[in-house]
Amino acid sequence: MKQPGEELQETVTELDDRAVVDYLLRNPEFFIRNARVVEEMRVPHPVRGTVSLVEWHMARSRNHINQLEENMTLLMEQASTNESLFYRLLHLQARLASAHSLDEFLSRFHRWARELGLAGRNDSSFP
């Protein structure tokens, strides 16, 4: 249960936080005018106690960069997989286009499916 003054304190803090955020959004030059103070500001840190605002911002930027690099790696891996699949399908299309009968077409298609490990699937795509 909250003490009588705690709820009021939370409201005042929220109003103060909101007022500070609004002020900074309206006055982005604040950080230029007060560069020395910004360098001296300390932010609570869960492991190191406190860190400078600059260190805090740099750590957040490093984390963001690491996430972007991980995403880029995943995208490149997916692009490589997609490229491989594209060429397999292109080769399949050429093989199927040169079939002279439906039986030959299906035979080539089933061979391709087996090569990819798709044979034996209970799917309407593979009659």
| Cα angle for residues 61, 65, 69 (degrees, 5° grid) | 175
Per-residue pLDDT reduced to its tens digit, 9-64 = 666 666 788 898 999 999 999 988 998 888 888 888 888 888 888 888 899 999 99
Eight-class DSSP state of 122: -
What are the residue boundaries of the structural domains of the chain, listed by start? 1-33
- Note if the pTM is more than 0.85: no
Per-residue pLDDT reduced to its tens digit, 83-114 = 999 999 999 999 999 999 999 999 999 999 99
For residue 123, give the nearest of 110, 104, 111 by alpha carbon.
Answer: 110
CB-CB contact of 97 with 112 (8 Å): no
Whole-number Cα distances in Å, 20 to 15, 33, 34, 39: 9, 16, 15, 18
